[in-house]
Amino acid sequence: MQADSTLIINKTIQFVKATLEGAEAGHDWFHIERVHKMALTINHVEKGNELIVSLAALLHDIADAKFNGGDEEIGPFKAGEFLKFIALPEAVILHVQDIIRNLSYKSSLGTITFHSAELDIVQDADRLDAIGAIGIARAFTYGGYKNRVLYDPEIAPVLEMSKEQYKNTQAPTINHFYEKLLRLKDLMKTQTGRDIAQKRHEFMLTYLEEFYAEWEGKV
C-alpha cells in the first residue's frame, strides 16, 4: 500500500475508533480490527483493490442498522460523509458505500443489485468473524445485550425467514446458530473464505454437541 493510502487508512482507523467507543462488544472496534485483518488476508490471495477493501472493512459497521432504529442507510451515509471529508474520489466513495449497503446477512435475504470482488472479500471477512470461537462469543454477547434466553427447547428455529422477520426476531441465541451461523460456510464467496470457514463451522458443530449434552446433564 502506498504512503498516501497508508495515511488514508490511519485517518480512517482513528475515525472508526472514536465513533465506536463504547459500542456493543460484538460490534466494537475489535470486531472491525479483526474483519480488517481478515479482509487483507483474503485479499492477498484474491487480489481485489486493497484500498477499497480496507476502507469498506473499516467502515462497514460505522453505524449498524440494528443499533440505529433499523435505518439501513445511516451506515453508508456516515461512511460517505467521512470519505468526502478526507477528499477521496467519488468512485471510491460510492464503491465503499455500495459494499456497506450490501454486506450484511439480512441484505442477502432481499434483492442484491450490486456485485464486486471487493464486496465478496469484505463480506467473507465479516462472515468469518460471525462463526467459530469468536462467532460463538459474539452471538451470546449480543443475546445478552438483547436479554434473550440462551436456549428454549420449546422454541424451534425458523429456517426460512424474510428479511423483515430476520430483523425482528427475538429467538433464543442457540436458534441463531441454525437461522444464520451454520449457513454461512456455504455462503462464502471466495475460495479463501470457504477454506477458512470449514474449520470454524466444524468447531461450532462440536460446541453445539457439548452444549446439548450439558443442557441434559450428561457427562
Three cell numbers written together for 84:
468526502
159 or 54: whose pLDDT is higher?
54
Residue 192 reports pLDDT greater than 80: yes
Structural domain for 109, as ranges:
3-215
Residue 108 reports pLDDT greater than 80: no
- In the chain, % of residues over pLDDT 90: 81
Residue 18 reports pLDDT greater than 80: yes
Three cell numbers written together for 27:
460490534
Output the pLDDT for position 1. 52
- In the chain, % of residues over pLDDT 70: 98
Question: How many whole angstroms separate alpha carbon 216 and alpha carbon 116?
Answer: 46
Cα-Cα-Cα-Cα dihedral sign, residues 9, 194, 112, 17? negative
Residue 2 reports pLDDT greater than 60: no
- Report the number of distinct structural domains present in the chain: 1
Mean pLDDT of 168-180: 94
Output the pLDDT for position 69. 78
Mean pLDDT of 33-51: 97
| Residue position matching grid coordinates 434473550 | 148
Q: Categorize the per-residue pLDDT at 163 as very low, low, confident or very high, splitting at 50, 70 and 90.
A: confident
Q: Categorize the per-residue pLDDT at 105 as very low, low, confident or very high, splitting at 50, 70 and 90.
A: confident
- Element (H or E) spanning 124, and its range? helix 117-128
One-letter amino acid identity for 104?
Answer: S
* CB distance 173 to 139 below 8 Å: yes
CATH number at residue 126: 1.10.3210.50
Question: How many whole angstroms separate alpha carbon 100 and alpha carbon 184?
Answer: 18
Residue 3 reports pLDDT greater than 70: no
Q: Categorize the per-residue pLDDT at 123 as very low, low, confident or very high, splitting at 50, 70 and 90.
A: very high
Alpha carbon 140 to its chain centroid, in Å, reads: 15
